[in-house]
Amino acid sequence: MLVKYLINDSVIPLRTSDTAVTALSLMEDLRVSHLPIVNNKNFLGLISDTDIYDLNKPDEPLGNHKLSLIRPYLLYSQHFYDAIKLVAEQKLTIIPVLDNNNNYLGCITLFGLTEKMAKIISFDQPGGIIVIQVNSIDYSLSEISRIVESNDAKILSSYITSFEDTTKFEVTIKVNKIDISPIIQTFNRYDYIITATFSEESDYDDLLNDRYNQLMKYLDL
């Protein structure tokens, strides 16, 4: 998934002639804490609500102030994962997207990003969840997939959680079967350590919500 497909056309960039009042009003409407400032198609940088409050001159154009604008952005041809990394690193609520000539194309909103993340982890698909603990040196997604598929099931999504001061991974997989007991038995035969399973709809929805909230906490948003 390329970032150009996530551009939200409803985000109107600021001009240097806009006032602080206008900027704050737009932020409130869009429920964001950042907005891009552009000059024609030239991306000047992002301004935050904190920056605007610090100006303490709500009716003056932004261009009348010396602004210390940050310039985080993505090129339209970059991958969706680059957007997640940038949001996590710089705690952004929007990400400007530029073309190869550094012309401003639009923004990705945090809501749009999280909505896409929910689809990637198959949030709305029925199935069961299995959490497996493995040594990092023994991890093999192909083997895990083979075990799942040997029980006439498919992996809908998977991700790895690593921990400090340990060589172990926690592998969480979601499969397209609610009755996951045969899959669990097969994992046990292969000496996999299963730390948690969720097979009823309410249970796996709770787990996905928990993992989603953990991710948001990691992003510190």
What CA–CA distance (Å, rounded) separates 148 from 122? Answer: 17
- Is residue 145 a contact partner of residue 210, using CB atoms and an 8 Å limit? no
Tokens of 92: 């952004």
- Judged by average pLDDT, the poorest of 137-141, 153-157, 163-167 is 163-167
* pLDDT tops 70 at residue 204: no
| Strand (E) or helix (H) holding 194 | strand 193-198
| Strand (E) or helix (H) holding 103 | none
Q: What is the mean pLDDT of residues 40-56?
A: 87
User: What is the predicted pLDDT for the residue at 99?
Assistant: 93
User: What is the predicted pLDDT for the residue at 65?
Assistant: 74
Terminal Cα distance for the chain, rounded: 23
- Is residue 147 a contact partner of residue 183, using CB atoms and an 8 Å limit? yes
* pLDDT tops 70 at residue 208: no
* pLDDT tops 50 at residue 202: no
* pLDDT tops 80 at residue 18: yes
Residue type, 27: M
* pLDDT tops 50 at residue 176: yes
What CA–CA distance (Å, rounded) separates 79 from 99? Answer: 14
pTM of the model: 0.68
Among 78, 69, 111, 110, which Cα is nearest to 92's?
110
SS3 60: coil
Q: Identify which has the larger pLDDT, 68 or 129.
A: 129
Structure confidence by residue, pLDDT tens digits, 104-129: 999 999 888 888 777 776 666 788 99
> What domains can you pick out in the chain, each with its CATH number?
3-113 (3.10.580.10), 120-216 (3.30.70.260)
- Summary mean pLDDT of the chain: 85
* pLDDT tops 60 at residue 220: no
Percent of the chain with pLDDT over 70: 88
